[in-house]
Structure 1
């Protein structure tokens, strides 16, 4: 399995991948629903300075049940897989490039009975019990928005369509993402990619 990054000094309960991906203040990202590859699908994520932070380049592949989140250098941070034989839509996240027997770091399951919006529960450390749900996601396809809540109901990340400085709305493939202080950016990106898949 590939190594991630060295730890930083930030301590937070919302670290699932590595403390390196946390910030002591809220962080703004621009999410472009495009791949860096020609005519490819995926995500390209930039920070407020325009620097590449994360990318997903393999949406164009024929493997629809697996997606890989990479850092700006192409290092695999998370392998996201759709769980086989699941009655409800469930995706699981594994650190790096996992071996077959490895347990997922976290998973996401779509809740049923919400036709106009998507609600998903997030289970950390491979837990499959609903009572151990640590996070909740809510979003709307028509509004192109998504919010991640902690177990206490606090908003830890929010994504919506990005507006230009002149208050002109950009295209549907350009989104604004705000992640609160102390929250693992790679963890949030993994959730958003899985959320996009079950959409």
Structure 2
């Protein structure tokens, strides 16, 4: 049975309160694999309407992605940080890459066999002793769960959808459930980052 979502107010609006609603939200995230730009995704809601787009910067040294709303406005830019011991992505407001505009970062904690664990740190978490969110994925089952902090409080779940279309047309599809009062644009960004990290699961 689905829980009511996080009780901690800090678990709500990460990117904007406008992306937090009082009911569960379902999204389908489709990776467009046969395009000129790597890392391009479309995000549709339960009615099949476009909710967000993710545009990749294929020539970017930092492997940048930009999450945009339906009007094309940039919500958040996230990019891989180079020269780090662990695979790490940083997210910035709008299309900024200024450190003062950083909203959160995602760090790969462990990769054992087909399991992936990521820690998510909000910008105010300077010591990074504990993540503000954590992502635990099972590549073998093609699924992941996103938790608030170090608790068992689930804020979102994702599973990969296998179909003939995904094979024939070069599309990778993910079904995402975002729990009530959770920033769903933030969750979409996390799922995209997780997929990018899983594309190179053997990286250190």
Task: Give the TM-score, by structure 1 length.
Answer: 0.81
How far apart, in 1, do the equivalents of 2:106 and 2:48 lie?
A: 30
Measure how far apart 1:98 and its partner are: 1.2
Please give the root-mean-square deviation of Cα atoms over the aligned residues, in Å: 2.4
Normalized per residue, the structure richer in helix is: 2
1:22 aligns with 2:31: no
Q: Which residue of 2 aligns with 1:62?
A: 59
State the aligned residue count.
183
Gap change, CA 1:128 and 1:196, over 3 Å in 2:
farther
Q: Which residue of 2 aligns with 1:6?
A: none
Gap change, CA 1:50 and 1:95, over 3 Å in 2:
same
Gap runs ≥5 in structure 1: 1-10
> Contact 1:90–1:108 (CA<8 Å) still a contact in 2?
yes
Task: Give the TM-score, by structure 2 length.
Answer: 0.79
Measure how far apart 1:115 and its partner are: 2.5
> Contact 1:79–1:94 (CA<8 Å) still a contact in 2?
yes
Q: Which residue of 1 aligns with 2:29?
A: 31
Q: Which residue of 2 aligns with 1:188?
A: 187
How far apart, in 1, do the equivalents of 2:188 and 2:144 lie?
A: 12
Gap runs ≥5 in structure 2: 1-7, 199-204
How far apart, in 2, do the equivalents of 1:155 and 1:54 lie?
A: 23
